[in-house]
């Protein structure tokens, strides 16, 4: 149980393109999803917390107009990197918590490797 699917797993695109990443909870309903960014050989850095039906909460230093998050249903959250540039190249990972809330562990997707040329 507690499977989180992330798509696509790998994206290569030109500078200036907008890229959408999907995060789905396959076998449970997720009221809260999280988006992380991970640079090589570093830990996960929380970008934003996404609650179903409400606006995402962004961590300090993360541009909300650059990284658009939509959590329209209990099983899907999307992250759109708008007008992506080479410095946005990174490994993006989502996670989800089920409807029972905070005491449950986060379950992670397999990540999306984004490469901007």
Partner 1 sequence: GQQLNQSPQSMFIQEGEDVSMNCTSSSIFNTWLWYKQDPGEGPVLLIALYKAGELTSNGRLTAQFGITRKDSFLNISASIPSDVGIYFCAGQLAGGDMRFGAGTRLTVKP
- Please tell me whether residue 53 binds partner 1 under the rule CB under 8 A: no
Query: Which one among 21, 24, 25, 32 touches partner 1, defined by CB under 8 A?
Result: 32
Residue 88 backbone phi and psi in degrees, to 5? -85, -5
Site size with partner 1, rule: CB under 8 A: 26
Query: Which one among 1, 53, 86, 105 touches partner 1, defined by CB under 8 A?
Result: 105
Q: Which of residues 74-93 bind partner 1 (CB under 8 A)?
A: 91, 93
Distance (Å) of CA 82 to CA 2, 40, 74, 96, 116: 30, 22, 24, 23, 12
Q: How many Å apart are CA 81 and CA 39, to the nearest integer?
A: 16
- Please tell me whether residue 95 binds partner 1 under the rule CB under 8 A: yes
């Amino acid at each position: 149980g507690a499977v989180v699917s992330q798509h696509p797993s790998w994206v290569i695109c030109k500078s200036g393109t907008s890229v959408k990443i999907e995060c789905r909870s396959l076998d449970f309903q997720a009221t809260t999803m999280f988006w992380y960014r991970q640079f090589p050989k570093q830990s996960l850095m929380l970008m934003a917390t996404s609650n179903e039906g409400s606006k995402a909460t962004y961590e300090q230093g993360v541009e909300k107009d650059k990284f658009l998050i939509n959590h329209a249903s209990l099983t899907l959250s999307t992250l759109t990197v708008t007008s992506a540039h080479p410095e946005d190249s990174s490994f993006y990972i989502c996670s989800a918590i089920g409807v029972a809330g905070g005491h449950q562990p986060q379950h992670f997707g397999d990540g999306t490797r984004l490469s901007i040329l």
